[in-house]
Structures are given as C-alpha cells and as structure tokens.
C-alpha cells in the first residue's frame, strides 16, 4: 500500500509541470509590499532583454559565466571532496546555469559560529544556506529582507500559492512586515528522525517492538532496554557495567551543546523544546493564548527525569553528549549497542555498516515509531525548514539588476523541481534513470547499476560508487523540503513502512505562532536569550547525565533561570504578541 501511495504522489507531481516563460519579466500571486501588506498581483508578462533565462519550467541560465559566493556546511561523515566541484553537483549546476558557486566551507559542527564571524566582519558570502535562526543578523542590517524580492521568484511563489504557505510565512515575518530568510517549505511535515534497533537481539530477548510501539512510552522503552541488557549480559554479549545505547547527533560534533536529536525527541514528547529544538525555550499555550518559559515547568522536569532514567539504569551512555558521531556508529556496528538515532538518509548506511562488521544474515534492524510522553504529537509541527539568507553585501556589490538576477538563480537552485532532482539524484542517464513501477505502471527514479547513495538510503555493493561521497548529491545543504512526492521519491520499503505506521500512530501538534518583535525588542530578547539558553542547556545535560540531582537541585535551576530574566522574556513575548 505504501508503495502505491508513493506512486500516486509521484503521478500527482508530474501533473504540476508548467510551461516555461523564457526571457520575460513576470510577477505572480501574493507579494509583500514595502509596508508589509499582502496583495495579490495579476500575472503579467512584459518582454524584456534580460541577460539570463528564468521562469517556471525553465532552467535559469545566464548569458555569461557569473560567479556567486556561497557558504557551505560541510558534514564530516560525508565531507566535500574536489570531485564535487570538478565533475559533481557544483560542476553540474555550473554547466546548466552558467553560474559558478564560489564555496566557503565550514565544518557543520561550528558552521553557525563561523558564518556569524564572517558576516559580522563584513566578509559574508552572497548566499547563506542552512540557516535555522536569522534574528541575530537582521537587526544589524547584514542580510536583505528577502520578502521584498519574492515577486522575482516564480518557483518560490508557485509553491507558496499551490500549497497555501502564507500562514507559515507569517510565523517568520517580523514587526516591519518582512521576513529575512527564504525557508525550505514542505507540502506536509515529515518526521524524519527516530530510533533504529537491532531487532534480532530485541526479539531474542523476548521483545517484539512492532507490537508495542503504537502506544509505548519512554518508560516502556527503558523497561524493554533493561530486559534486553539482562539478556545480553546472560549471553555474554556485554557486562553489567556496559551501556547498550550510545547515541549520535548529540555530542560535540552535531549536538551543539544542547543534547541534539535525542533530547529533542524526548522533550517534544512532553511538550517542551529541548535539544536541537530548544531555540528560545518559549512555548505558546493554545488554551490561554499566552507565552511561557517551558524549561522551568513541571513538563520539563518530567522530561529530564525520564531522560535521566536511561542513564541511571545503565542503558544510555552519558558520553553520548560529548563523543563524536563516528564513535557512536562504530559502537552500533560492533554490537556494543543495540539502539541508535536514525533518519531516512542514514538507514542504509547503518545497515551497510552492520553488514560489514556483523556479516550478512547475522542481524536485522527495525525503524521504530519513537515513544510518546504526555502527548501523541510528532516532533515536527511546522511546514518550514531551515533556509537561505542573502547578504546585504550581495545587493551592495551587484546592484539592483544584478541582485535580481542572483535572486532568480537562487529561486531555481532552491525551489525548482528541476534543481531538486539534480541536487538529490544527479543527472538522468548518468547516475539515475526513470523506470516503470510494475505495481502501478508509473515512472519512478532508480539509481543506475554501479551506484549507491547513503544520503538517499539506497545501499549497494562495496565496489559501487556512492554518489553523495563522490559527487555531493543528496547532501543536506539544500534542505529536505518540497512536495510529498519529491521528499519520498527515494524511500525504500522499510522507510515507507515506518511513515505508514507513524501516520497511523501519531498526529501533528499545534503550530507555534509568529512573534513580530521590533528591532529594539529583538535586541533585548537576544541579550536575554543567549545566556539564559546556555544556562538551560548546561543544567539540562547535568540533569540527564546525573551530574545534577533533579530532586534536590531543581529549585536552584529554576532560580538560575529567573535570575537570568526568564520572567522578563515571558512578559515581553506576551506584550509583543498582544500588539501583533
């Protein structure tokens, strides 16, 4: 059924093709005025002599080779190599568009810190992707109000109108009626991150997770893991002092000092922002219509108590929050651990790593619907993803006409179906082909023989070329937004099955409303937020790992947050919200 639903989505996507508009000047749909008022413009086409081609269904192409600078978040588990530029994704972009991207690359672990230093020093690249929070750059005037230029972005505006994205865009619109980040947009939220288990070991210990996961809680999972560990000790697979869960995406490399993915998942299960999702710590109460600081609530206390239980029971390795990701995955491959965070891109990689170490046929895995806490919501409740800022430096150096040309290239690169396919799959006939699905008769994408891709979750033989490692396709810098058909066109059966179960067992939570703060208000919020959230993250990791005692030190934590003006944050948020 999942495969047939996927094929239907792909068929719907193919019906969305729209004819090219060639070298024309166009505006279409909802646009934002200088005062921030939303209006609907009638589509117009006026022939002009532009030095580039653009438009829906048209490949952006400059008449002359043009260079734009761009930051790049380089993931250590698939680091950029020269072939990405000489024959891979960036070369193909250049061949298709006549745009050469001058890349400034930083390790993903300190990407935000480094681009912040460059931007503040006046050395920003023109195009700034992989940005989750733009507030710190807006008030200083370092980035452009991109909403002033979306009228020149036909692919972007088509998505906004087709999937009615304006309510989501309102959540990132500031007090001046503008927004400063072009977000990745999703037709529907997609909960990517969850947990993967060694199903063979769980079943040998007497636990069939597939019969439990519909309603299980984190405490249930902990009980199961205690039983699994007892079995492993009995069988001589580990000792009483060993941990059987040592996670990735939580330590020095990608946890960002916040606890990363696992604390985000557990926190969201209790309705509180934590880990990757901590942001400003603020939550909106849908019933009262008021904002509150979540880390000092009873829900947050319950969250850290549950997370700490995994450590206290000798299940979760506290080194999870300090180690690098490779250490975590190697423990999983070696059989030292039996559970790990996973996303759809890493599923095939983990199975391949297990096969290389454990041997084919000596293991089985299962993608779990992760447990619930005091709610039944998935961790994702928004249709916006990370996005792209455009530096004011680009406007200053390119001039208005040159800047609009670059904006139209950005529109093609980040929002056109053509670029989405290129960046994700490579070039048709070189790395992938369309084949007919025998069950539906519809065309679907398939890698050509000799290729595999960890980023797509598609495994292969050891000698096969990984198109992400070799050429940079299916990387994370261009976000995983798009239509359901686009996002799911690479799902292997195990991942399709996971999403089918997730859709049946869990539901979407309420969307956090936008907050239209003024420049002065934002400055005050940022002054409070930085030390306050640093304090929250420090105490949270202390509570979870047991270095801080929840029973005796919780009141001291609450007092420390109040001493750092958490109550002032609450007052400001509610005043700003009331004025919006």
| pLDDT at 380 (0 to 100) | 85
**Where residue 34 falls among pLDDT bands split at 50, 70, 90?**
very low
Residue-wise DSSP of 92-135: HHHHHHSEEEEEEEEEGGGHHHHHHHHHHTT---SEEEEES--H
Q: Are residues 169 and 269 in the same domain?
A: no
- Paired with 366 in beta bridges are 197
**One domain for residues 44 and 182:** yes
Say what the pLDDT of residue 97 is: 98
Q: Which residue has the higher pLDDT, 185 or 77?
A: 185
Task: Look up residue 258 and give its two tokens.
Answer: 């916040």
Q: Which of 391, 425, 459 lies at the terminal end of a domain, its last residue? A: 425
Q: Which residue has the higher pLDDT, 29 or 514?
A: 514
- One domain, residues 213 and 296: yes
Q: Point out the domain boundary residue: 362, 393, 425.
A: 425
What was the pLDDT predicted at 265?
97
Please tell me whether residues 183 and 199 are part of one structural domain.
no
pLDDT at site 30: 38
Q: Is residue 335 part of a domain?
A: yes
Query: Does a structural domain hold residue 1?
Result: no
Question: What is the pLDDT at residue 548?
Answer: 98
C-alpha span between 312 and 306 (Å, rounded): 10
423 has a pLDDT exceeding 90:
yes
Specify the pLDDT at position 191. 86
Domain-located, residue 556: yes
136 and 115 co-located in one domain: yes
Q: How confident is the model at residue 5 (pLDDT cuts 50, 70, 90)?
A: very low
**Radius of gyration (C-alpha) of the chain in whole angstroms:** 24
The total of structural domains in the chain comes to 2
Asked if pLDDT for residue 449 goes beyond 50, the answer is yes
Residues 213 and 155 both lie in one domain:
no
Contact of 260 with 108, CB cutoff 8 Å: no
> For 496, which DSSP code?
H
**How much is the pTM?**
0.76
Averaged pLDDT for residues 349-362:
93
Domain that includes residue 137, residue range: 22-189+383-425
Of the ranges 237-251, 341-355, 492-506, which is most confident?
Answer: 237-251
Calculate mean pLDDT across residues 153-170.
95
Give the pLDDT score at 19: 29
Q: How confident is the model at residue 345 (pLDDT cuts 50, 70, 90)?
A: confident
Residues 128 and 258 reside in one and the same domain:
no
User: Is residue 9 one of the residues assigned to a domain?
Assistant: no
Q: Which two tokens stand for residue 535?
A: 């304090």
**Given pLDDT bands bounded at 50, 70 and 90, which one contains residue 440?**
low
Q: Is the pLDDT of residue 292 over 60?
A: yes
pLDDT digits (tens, 9 = 90+) for 91-135: 999 999 999 999 999 998 889 999 999 999 999 999 999 998 888
Whether 244 and 327 share a structural domain: yes
Tell how far CA 77 is from the center of its chain.
Answer: 16
Number of H helices, E strands in the chain: 21, 18
Does some domain include residue 494? Answer: no
Domain of 167, CATH number, reads 3.40.190.10
**Is 434 within 8 Å of 503 (Cβ atoms)?**
no
- pLDDT digit string (tens) for 491-507? 888 998 999 899 899 99
Q: If you ran DSSP here, which 8-state letter would residue 151 be given?
A: G
Q: Do residues 211 and 151 share a domain?
A: no
46: which 2 tokens? 């006026």
Flag whether 454 is in a domain. Answer: no
**What is the per-residue pLDDT across 524-560, written as a single tens digit (0 to 9) for each?**
999 999 999 999 999 999 999 999 999 999 999 999 9
User: What tens digit of pLDDT does each residue of 15-33 get?
Assistant: 233 223 344 444 443 333 3
Q: What Å distances lie between residue 390 and 73, 144, 165, 224, 360, CA to CA?
A: 16, 6, 21, 48, 48
Q: Which of 395, 425, 455 is the last residue of a domain?
A: 425
Q: Are 481 and 165 in contact (CB under 8 A)?
A: no
Residue 31: per-residue pLDDT:
38
Q: Report percent pLDDT > 70 for the chain.
A: 91
Judge if 206 and 303 occupy the same domain: yes
More confident residue, 59 or 580: 59
What are 427-430's contacts with CB under 8 Å, separation 24+? 427/92
Are 308 and 395 part of one and the same domain? no
Indicate whether 96 belongs to any domain. Answer: yes
Buried b (16+ CB within 10 A) or exposed e, 150-181: bbbbbbbbbbbeeeebeebbebbbbbbbbbbb
Compute CA distances 300 → 218, 373, 543, whole Å: 14, 11, 11
Give every CB contact of residue 549 below 8 A, 6+ residues apart in sequence.
none
Do 70 and 146 share a domain, yes or no? yes
Which pLDDT band holds residue 436 (cuts at 50, 70, 90)? confident
- 94 in a structural domain: yes
Q: Which residues of 372-396 are buried (b: 16+ CB within 10 A; e: fewer)?
A: bbeeebbbbeebbbbbbbbbbbbbe
């Amino acid at each position: 059924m999942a495969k047939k639903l996927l094929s239907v989505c792909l068929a719907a996507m193919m019906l969305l093709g729209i004819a090219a508009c060639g070298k024309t000047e166009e505006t279409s749909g909802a646009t934002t005025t200088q005062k921030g008022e939303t209006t609907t413009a009638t589509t117009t086409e006026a022939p002009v002599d532009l030095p580039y081609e653009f438009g829906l269904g048209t490949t952006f192409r400059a008449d002359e080779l043009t260079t734009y600078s761009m930051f790049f978040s380089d993931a250590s588990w698939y680091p950029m190599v020269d072939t990405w530029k000489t024959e891979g994704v960036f070369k193909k972009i250049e061949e298709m568009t006549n745009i050469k991207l001058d890349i400034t690359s930083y390790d993903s672990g300190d990407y935000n810190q480094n681009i912040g230093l460059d931007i503040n020093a006046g050395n920003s690249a023109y195009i700034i992707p992989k940005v989750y929070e733009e507030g710190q750059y807006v008030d200083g005037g370092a980035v452009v109000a991109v909403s002033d230029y979306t009228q020149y972005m036909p692919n972007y505006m088509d998505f906004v109108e087709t999937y009615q994205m304006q309510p989501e865009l309102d959540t990132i619109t500031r007090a001046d009626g503008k927004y400063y980040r072009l977000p990745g947009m999703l037709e529907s939220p997609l909960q990517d991150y969850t947990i993967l288990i060694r199903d063979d070991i769980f079943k040998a210990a007497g636990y069939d997770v597939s019969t439990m996961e519909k309603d299980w809680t984190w405490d249930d999972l902990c009980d199961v893991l205690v039983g699994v560990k007892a079995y492993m000790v009995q069988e001589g697979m580990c000792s009483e002092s060993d941990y059987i869960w040592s996670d990735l995406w939580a330590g020095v490399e990608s946890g960002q000092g916040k606890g990363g993915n696992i604390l985000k998942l557990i926190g969201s299960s209790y309705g509180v922002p934590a880990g990757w999702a901590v942001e400003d710590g603020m939550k909106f109460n849908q019933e009262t219509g008021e904002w509150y600081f979540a880390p000092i609530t009873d829900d947050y206390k319950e969250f850290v108590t549950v997370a700490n239980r995994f450590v206290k029971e000798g299940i979760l390795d506290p080194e999870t929050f300090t180690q690098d990701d490779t250490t975590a995955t190697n423990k999983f491959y070696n059989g030292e651990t039996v559970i790990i965070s996973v996303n759809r891109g890493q599923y095939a990689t983990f199975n391949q790593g297990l096969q290389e170490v454990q041997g084919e046929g000596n293991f089985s895995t299962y993608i779990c619907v992760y447990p619930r806490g005091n709610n039944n919501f998935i961790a994702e409740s928004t249709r916006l993803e990370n996005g792209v800022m455009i530096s004011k430096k680009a406007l200053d150096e390119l001039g208005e006409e040159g800047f609009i040309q670059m904006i139209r290239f950005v529109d093609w690169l980040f929002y056109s179906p053509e670029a989405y396919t290129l960046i994700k799959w490579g070039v048709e006939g070189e790395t992938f082909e369309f084949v007919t699905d025998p069950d539906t008769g519809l065309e679907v994408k398939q890698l050509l023989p000799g290729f595999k891709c960890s980023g797509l979750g598609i495994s292969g033989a050891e000698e096969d070329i990984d198109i992400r490692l070799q050429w940079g396709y299916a990387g994370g810098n261009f976000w995983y937004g798009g239509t359901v058909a686009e996002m799911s066109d690479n799902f292997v059966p195990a991942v399709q099955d996971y999403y089918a179960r997730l859709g049946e067992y869990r539901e979407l939570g309420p969307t956090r409303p936008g907050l239209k703060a003024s420049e002065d208000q934002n400055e005050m919020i940022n002054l409070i937020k930085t030390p306050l959230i640093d304090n929250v993250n420090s105490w949270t990791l202390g509570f979870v790992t047991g270095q801080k005692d929840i029973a005796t030190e919780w009141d001291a934590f609450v007092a420390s947050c109040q001493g750092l003006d958490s109550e002032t944050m609450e007052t400001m948020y509610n005043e700003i919200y009331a004025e919006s």
